[in-house]
Every structure is written in C-alpha cells, then in structure tokens.
Amino acid sequence: MRFRIAVLPGDGIGPEVVAQGVKALQAVGVRFGHNFELDYRLVGAAASDEFGVPLPPESVLACQQADSVLFGAVGDPRFMPLVKPELADVEFEISVLSEFERIEDPQQIEVGKHGLLISKKNSRGLLLPQIATAYGWSRERFLAETCMKAGLLPGEWKDGATIHCFSAQVFSERQHRLTAVS
C-alpha cells in the first residue's frame, strides 16, 4: 500500500525525534510492504522564521491532503523535555488511527479498544486507546484525563463537549521487532 504522510518536525529536539520516527516508519514499510511518500513541511518557530506564522497555509494544506501526519510536537507541559542522550533509549511506536466517530453516549466507549478526542470551544485533547490500558483507567478516568489533556476541567466531558472515539493499529519496535535503518 502507498501512503502520503505530511511530516512536521517541529522545534527543539522535534526534528531529531521525527527523524527516528521516520526510520521506524520505514522499517514498518519494509516489514509490511508499505510505501510512504513523505512531504516535509515547516511548523513552529522554523515556520515563523521562514513565513512569519507558526502554521503556514502550505503546511495546513499538506496535512489536509495527506493520509496521515507525523508531527514532532514539543513543549507538552506534562513531560520533561527529552535531551539528546535520552534519544537512544526512546522506543518508537506508530499508531495508525481509524476514522473518528462521534458518540453521544459515553457508555459506548470501550477502554482498550477506543481512543478519545474531546473538543469544547477552542480546546481539544486526544489520547490513544493504549494509554487507558497502560494506566488501568476506567472509562470515566479516561474521559477525565482526555479533558485535562485538552486543558479542560476533568468533568467537562459531561457538559457540552463533543466526544469522538477511534481505534488504532499499533506498530512498536519491540512487538514487531522493527529496526530502524540508518
């Protein structure tokens, strides 16, 4: 199969992390017979320096036209930033997401099967299906944590938030014995 992927390295250590992610992605391609067309675009400070805006229209268009986006997000306040010596110890995992499905009844959410995207006003938070399983969360805790990822209060999923669920096919270095090719 052939997939077009918009690649947004980001800032800070993002480009180095994305470079390793691309190596893992290429290993997935070799192992499973996929071909990935990579379309690199600027985002963040590099885009601001080049275009005067952190997310230029060209990058947005590339993401809209792509089958998937590989984004080197940096600056998540929940985690300490990676430093270069730690990069060798990072295990990469690629999650291929299904279509998003809007749900009205949170009871439809199956922990371990579904990931969540919660939106309210201008805030959005997304957590992958494997996160809830890894931490042993209940459905309610998963909803609350996704709200907090969006910068919302834990219970705001109950009051006017839009909830989407999705599934993911996960490829990990350990599970699939993938090796990055330099």
The top-level CATH class assigned to 99-166 is alpha beta
Q: What is the DSSP code (8-state) at residue 95?
A: E
Closest CA to 149 of 123, 112, 180: 123
pLDDT tens sequence across 10-66: 877 788 889 988 998 898 899 889 999 999 999 877 787 788 877 889 998 998 899
The confidence band for 153, taking pLDDT boundaries of 50, 70 and 90, is: very high
For residue 74, give both structure tokens.
């940096």
Residue 77 above 60 pLDDT? no
Rounded alpha-carbon distances, angstroms, from residue 173 to 4, 24, 38, 43, 44: 22, 7, 20, 27, 28
For residue 51, give both structure tokens.
């275009």
In the chain, where does DSSP find H-type helix?
14-32, 45-51, 57-65, 129-135, 139-149, 173-176
- Can you tell me the mean pLDDT for 132-152? 94
User: Distance between CA 95 and CA 81 in Å, rounded?
Assistant: 22
Would you state the pLDDT for residue 181? 43
User: Distance between CA 173 and CA 178 in Å, rounded?
Assistant: 5
Q: Residue ranges per domain, the chain?
A: 1-94, 99-166
Would you state the pLDDT for residue 47? 80
Residue 69 above 50 pLDDT? yes
pLDDT tens sequence across 96-139: 888 999 999 999 999 999 999 999 998 899 999 999 999 999 99
Would you state the pLDDT for residue 55? 81
- Can you tell me the mean pLDDT for 145-154? 93
